[in-house]
Structure 1
Amino acid sequence: MPKISIVLPVYNGLKYLDSAIYSILNQTEQNYEVLICDDASTDGSLSYLKQLENLNHNVRILYNDKNLGLFKTLNKLIKACQSPLIHLWAQDDIMMPNCLEECLNFHNLYPNITMSYHGVEYIDENGLVNPSEKIDGTPSIIDTKLYAILSSKWGCIPGNISNITINTSSIIAVGLFDDQMTLSADFDLWTKLAAVGDIGRIPYKLTYLRLHAAQLSRNYKSIALRIEEDTLIQKRIIGLLAENKDDFNIAKRFWRWKTQPTYFNDLLYLISVKEYDEGKKLAALLYSETNIIGLFFRWSIVRTLRFLKLDIKFYLNILDR
């Protein structure tokens, strides 16, 4: 049995596919299996993958006859895995050579965690690194309460799919990705896993995460849907803190004063780029969740504080009390 399975959904990913896959094959840890599923690509990705399968016995290629979408394809891959651990992967990104080795070491050290995430370096379309000096003081082990506290304040802390390793039995137990979601099923899954056990943070940067305009998550036409799905998740996260009155009230303050004003800012952005239909969807969602006049008032205060570079102090010294 391989120590770890790498699962890679592919849809029209030929441009970066070679570098994404060969960064797996060049890992210092070689006891793995790679499962790749082509989701009815039209750019020649499947032909490339079939050639690769013939050259490497660690690689298995699956394919969908019609496009099923990211999360249904990921679930198909996960069900085919034979390892106790699964590392999720994306067609745009590059693993550092020691990525799998460090992930395995961490899960061997903490065998009861449901999942882990690690640090990333961001690269552009041409592979150039965008340096970041951001310091993450999150501990190595994050229990349910801490996950809920951090996520209610700052959003999805694990981040992207490519820096995630999951305990196979844990993901089966919580029911895989919610494939009825289009954009936020990853955030939803991290929350389900954190609700049933500890998760881990590996304190190393092990992946180059590529940012480019073609990614769905960066498409302004998906803003309203992303916020709709995130809202459902955030409500569940706040609910995880219901047993502690102080933590619960702090989470609700962050929801009203940080998260919702961010959504209102997205609404103004949609209007500025003349995406009126998308703006109407988001406006209707915000109207159903809060008083719009009150939200505008909160947004105005937060924007002023940000202009004065006092927003972080406001969050930490006023909201977080």
Structure 2
Amino acid sequence: MSITLVMPTYNGGAYLREAIESVMRQRYQQWELLVSDDGSSDGTRDYLLQLKDPRIRVFLQEKNLGIFGNLNFLFQQVKTDIVQILCQDDWLTDEYALESCLNEWSILPEDVAFMRANHGSDFSSKDGGAFEAQWLPRIVDPGISDLYFLMFGCIPGNLSNVSLRTEIVAKHGWFDQRLPYAGDFDFWSRVGRSQRWVVSAVRVSTIRTHQNQASKTLNKVGELMPQMGELLRRLYSKVDERGLIDWRVRVAMQIVYVSQQRWAGLRSRMKTGSWSYMKHVNKYIGRGPWEIGVVFGWLIFLLSGGGRWFKKAAIGAVLSRHQGHLVR
């Protein structure tokens, strides 16, 4: 097996050198790194142009493509069967990272589309993914994938957690550039609907937490809500088609999505004095086929402490109810 790393960049000069040097330190050396800069103005391009390693190919975009347009471009340049995504502000955990990644792929069935690595060790949630690990099988089948995504959200999390078969990007219609905040959630859930995918604890990348990361800067006034509402409706509809929707699912969604986002809306109001975030939540997340009425919705908000309490219990009740459909 051989592997290509793809790295979309945009004004990432503060972290980029560490990311690329982590690739160059790998014990496994038969890699290629494709970097596509999306119009940086912070010295990123100067750094990229001075790289002399023949295994690194640099592309300079004339106009900004956005993160998912840039990823689509990069995947069109890949020549290997396996791709590891590496964001500009993250790094490969140690010198064995690519070797560990390829060792995992070497034992996976050929129909597995992508692998979510670092599970339980990237600390993308307060418990480091331990609760997800209680419920997620190693290999997730299409028949139950939508329910998992509906309950847990974007399970792959940061893009740097994911390696995948190159062919699946074109096969499943590319990353949707119309969803600049949720294109990854959309893509992974679409793929999971028709192909198996894997959850792995193998350490491949380390996710950096900082104030300028996209998750903290792109949803200040609820910009994510219209896209999130669209994805949740799609997932809900697919789960409903399989006959897995009941009151437990609706209550869980009230806690996991509606209440949590309303709590974020209240915090935004206290910080900025604006109700914009809350209006987006009520319009796009508060309304939907999972709605249980205004009074009950706000009652659940209060009882769950704005979605901070009983989340695990609500999700557990859903997955326990449908355990017969789960393949472990």
TM-score, length-scaled by structure 2: 0.85
Contact map agreement 1:224 1:281 (CA 8 A) in 2? yes
SS at match of 2:112: coil
Structure 2: gaps of 5 or more residues = 322-328
2:142 to 141, 144, 153: 144
Higher mean displacement: 182-191 or 256-265: 256-265
Aligned to 1:89: 86
Aligned to 1:126: none
- The CA distance in 1 between the partners of 2:112 and 2:33, in whole Å, is 23
- The CA distance in 2 between the partners of 1:298 and 1:22, in whole Å, is 48
SS at match of 1:139: coil
Deviation at 1:198, TM superposition (A): 0.1
Aligned to 1:37: 36
- The CA distance in 2 between the partners of 1:65 and 1:317, in whole Å, is 51
Structure with the higher fraction of residues in strand conformation: 1
- The CA distance in 1 between the partners of 2:41 and 2:188, in whole Å, is 31
Deviation at 1:305, TM superposition (A): 8.9
Structure with the higher fraction of residues in helix conformation: 1
Deviation at 1:233, TM superposition (A): 1.6
- The CA distance in 1 between the partners of 2:127 and 2:317, in whole Å, is 29
Aligned to 1:226: 224
The one-letter code sitting in structure 2 at the alignment partner of 1:269 is R
Deviation at 1:28, TM superposition (A): 2.3
Structure 1: gaps of 5 or more residues = 124-129
> Residues 259 and 281 of structure 1: is their aligned pair in 2 closer, same or farther, counting only changes over 3 Å?
closer
Runs (4+) of structure 1 moved beyond 3 Å?
A: 120-123, 130-135, 220-223, 250-253, 275-284, 286-294, 309-315, 317-321
Contact map agreement 1:11 1:45 (CA 8 A) in 2? yes
TM-score, length-scaled by structure 1: 0.87
Contact map agreement 1:152 1:251 (CA 8 A) in 2? no
Aligned to 2:45: 46
Contact map agreement 1:264 1:295 (CA 8 A) in 2? no
Deviation at 1:139, TM superposition (A): 2.3
Contact map agreement 2:262 2:306 (CA 8 A) in 1? no
- The CA distance in 1 between the partners of 2:48 and 2:306, in whole Å, is 52
- Is residue 2:25 matched to residue 1:26? yes
The one-letter code sitting in structure 1 at the alignment partner of 2:269 is I
- The CA deviation string for residues 143-170 of structure 1, in whole angstroms up to 9 with x for no partner, is 1233222222121111110010111111
Aligned to 2:316: 316
- The CA distance in 1 between the partners of 2:307 and 2:224, in whole Å, is 26
Contact map agreement 2:19 2:90 (CA 8 A) in 1? yes
> Residues 305 and 42 of structure 1: is their aligned pair in 2 closer, same or farther, counting only changes over 3 Å?
closer
- Is residue 2:278 matched to residue 1:276? no
Name the Cα RMSD after superposition.
2.6
Contact map agreement 2:225 2:285 (CA 8 A) in 1? no
